[in-house]
Amino acid sequence: MVLRGWLEGHAVTLTLENGVLTVMFEDGGVLTLDQVGRLWTLYAEEHHFYRSLNGSVLARWTDKDVQQRRRLWPTEADLVLLRASLSAQNLRDELALEAPPEVVLELDQVLGRAAAFDIGAARADIDHYQRVYKPIGILPPDQRLALVLQMTEGCPFNACAFCARYKDRPFHVKSPQELRAHIADVRAYLGDSIHLCQGIFIADANALVAPQQQLLELFDLVGQEFGETQIYTFQDGFSGQTKPADDYAALAKRGLQRVYVGLESGHDPLLAWLHKPGQADDTIRAVQQIKAGGVDVGLVVMLGVGGQRYAEGHVRDTISALNDMGLGGDDLLCFVESTPFGALYTTPSGGPDPWLLTQSQMLAQREDIVAGLRFDGTPPQTTTCDVCEFIY
């Protein structure tokens, strides 16, 4: 539903659909709210602001043709939130709009909730979020609008040197009773804005490692609660290669659309250096099993990982591994630029490791990998995941 009105002599365009209100101002500003009144995005003065459910705000802008981004300090995030709240109140008070009465009423209700979503209300909302979810570590870049259900919590390995996202919790697979209660809590928290979500992402880090019969029961429960829907999740190669294709096919019948697998690198010495369980061949077999079960895959490849000392082997063996997987046009290849982490990237004196790759070298590494890929049919889609920009 697209509406046009006037605010203080200036044209305003409003779109209200799928649980989202988008307001476009004549000066180019854009405000996006959900039906509960939460701020999702704000564009003002050539800056994009993205607010997550946990309250953090990411700012993005361009400076001299270079894309910049940073996560705002809490006090800065409060100012963005206050600006959105005041803008919603101004729209509610001053907007001149010709529309059917029921539309005007719905719009007034959404703007009223947004105007009331001030700093205090936002903090209460964050407290509610933290009672519903454990911290959500990461999602693939194409799953940022998915409805996250934490069917499992934590990671069964918690060994990878590049990941500290799940150190605060033991690995646990929810029982049907626990999952049903979690879904009820998610529904109560999101309210009507649940309609904004696209598909379901089963978290946490490695949900498909759960026993197959338990997975079938939990997937059936999701189907009962949400009807026919597309489901996405993570699976590591070490565990994934032990699951037969028939198991993936059974999950596909219950909505499983794509499994994201962290290859990271095809170079086994680098995987060992990263303390990553398993070897590249495990991931190759896992991908082949997943695809044989009729499920698409998303492959995660890290750029720059291991620095210059592993660069040649990383590129060579990653190309080889990806070429052996039988990837196609419905699959996704996701490149992640690595960032320095822990003792692996410091010298004995504590200084930065001179072997680190620059961003331009990481981009060149990506180009080298892509140039070496060979596919029988339509190649997979490619995308970039910036872990520093992740919010949910």
The residue behind tokens 């990553």 is 276
| Domain 145-389, CATH homologous superfamily name and number | Aldolase class I (3.20.20.70)
Q: Give the integer Cα–Cα distance in Å for 233 and 201.
A: 6
Angle between helices 74-94 and 119-132 (to 10 degrees): 120
Q: Give the integer Cα–Cα distance in Å for 166 and 184.
A: 24
Q: Give the integer Cα–Cα distance in Å for 317 and 272.
A: 14
Question: Is the pLDDT confidence value at 145 over 50?
Answer: yes
pLDDT bracket for residue 342 (50, 70, 90): very low
* CATH 3.20.20.70 intervals, the chain: 145-389
Residues 200-223 have pLDDT tens digits of 999 998 899 999 999 999 999 999
How much is the pTM? 0.89
Phi (first) and psi of residue 259, to 5 degrees = -115, 130
Q: Give Dmax (Cα) for the chain.
A: 70
> Which pLDDT belongs to residue 353?
56
Q: Give the integer Cα–Cα distance in Å for 194 and 102.
A: 22
Q: Give the integer Cα–Cα distance in Å for 15 and 1.
A: 6
Map residue 70 onto helix, strand or coil.
Answer: strand
pLDDT bracket for residue 165 (50, 70, 90): confident
Residues 295-315 have pLDDT tens digits of 999 999 999 988 888 999 999
Question: Is the pLDDT confidence value at 381 over 80?
Answer: yes
- Concatenating the DSSP letter of every residue in 15-34 gives EEETTEEEEEETTS-EEEEE
Residues 258-295 have pLDDT tens digits of 999 999 999 999 999 989 999 999 999 999 999 999 99
pLDDT bracket for residue 65 (50, 70, 90): confident
| Mean pLDDT, range 332-339, rounded to an integer | 86
Q: Give the integer Cα–Cα distance in Å for 84 and 96.
A: 19
